[in-house]
Structure 1
Amino acid sequence: MSSAPAEAASANVSISELILQIRSGQRQSLGELLQLYRNYLNVLATTQLDARLRRRMSTSDLVQETMLAAHRDFDQFRGRSEGELLAWLRQILSHHLSHAIERNVYAQKRDIRREVSFDRVAKRIDDSIAGLSNLLPDPMATPSEIACRRELATELSDQLAKLKTRYHDVIVYRNLQGYSFDEIAQKMDIKPGAARMLWLRAIAKFKEVCDINIAGDLS
């Protein structure tokens, strides 16, 4: 990845400037801009795909569909900030997830469950974002301040992606999906006590990777 988008990610105003540059005709930067949010979308998709959907489509499939749609339809994006861009990407992800649920889970059913609620899917994704932020709580932040700082979720997603697979998975299971240690143990084929210890080590490593105080640095 080139250095320009990486530098742009360091400050919200830089992302805003990059969006304006793309709109002014520098379309070559669009793919790089969207690539900044692949880890973010991957974490959100991972938390939303249940076992039924995973048998039919992968997380990477859902993220790729979202990225392609965002690239194709970027002219429809009317926002200027990173926060608005994230909201737009979540909307696209929710749209593709809703259709995946409708197509793969309820396609053969003829009852009210076939009507997948877009709002319900979007709320689950927003809840996942809150879960990400809670991994590194900022004692000075109020709930409303946290809600307004969703950009933090992109940074946390990038840091999660740096962890080895077992650490990444146990944090997703515990902190984002809310599984008990017994459930995690079953999913990871280990004992509950080992699941708890793995989670503690994973959180410690996550804080180390994040330089311990990402949330404080962004406050």
Structure 2
Amino acid sequence: MSTLPTTELIHRARDGQREALEELLRRYQAVLRKWARGAIKPDAPGGARPSDVAQDASLAVFRHFLSFKGASQAEWTSWLRKVVTSKAKMSRRRAKGAERNSSGNVPLDSLGETQEVASARRSPSQVTAHREEWRRLLVHFQGLPADQQEALILRRLKELSVAEVAERMHRSEASVDSLVQRATRTLRDLMVGVEAEAATPEAQRIRNMADMVLTGYLRRCEAGERVTLEEVIQEHPDCAEELRGLLHGMEQLKALWPGEPT
């Protein structure tokens, strides 16, 4: 990968090759840090740091790579610079807001900054661990087959109905359910380090039950039925932990997917 030109890496990353996206980010880390140092001075008020801006920009690129529509190296670097500029502005706003609000009430310019502000309240070690969890989730997402990525984005992140997703993907509704189910399960297993092949028969039974219950729950919600996840969990206590784990991964992914690299 290290010998491939940027244009080829972009093409491969768009095809779902996780290693290509990782190489793109590795190759441009020094550039991101340089741009961040130019946007945020080391003595900036409120604790804004160039290293944080560069790290946030890297995370944003992981989040929103699928929204990048260019193909050339010039388009890629231009997009990266816009992401860094956006993150630098956000960092300065947070720093100024924190200075103005000694009571701890930080004003939000938009709901999308909630995660960013919450991160600022954690200890450095907590922030590092949190970002690493995000990075792992997004790397695993990029490693999913393209059809599973598309189904998951449309169904769980953009919250389209099964019928709408099926029409867009030219698939049956049952096929869409299967793609979403497999993608959700794969992300869950990768995040907790579980190998499906190593599961005991009882563990596999619980996993299968959780997958089916979750799919049924989403269908019931789509049909307008007023049912909460906790009610569903009470109906299926044997797979309660698995259900919560599956939903936790999706909520994390939603938090990372506001739609634009801001």
TM tier, smaller: 0.3 to 0.5
TM (norm. structure 2) is 0.36
TM (norm. structure 1) is 0.41
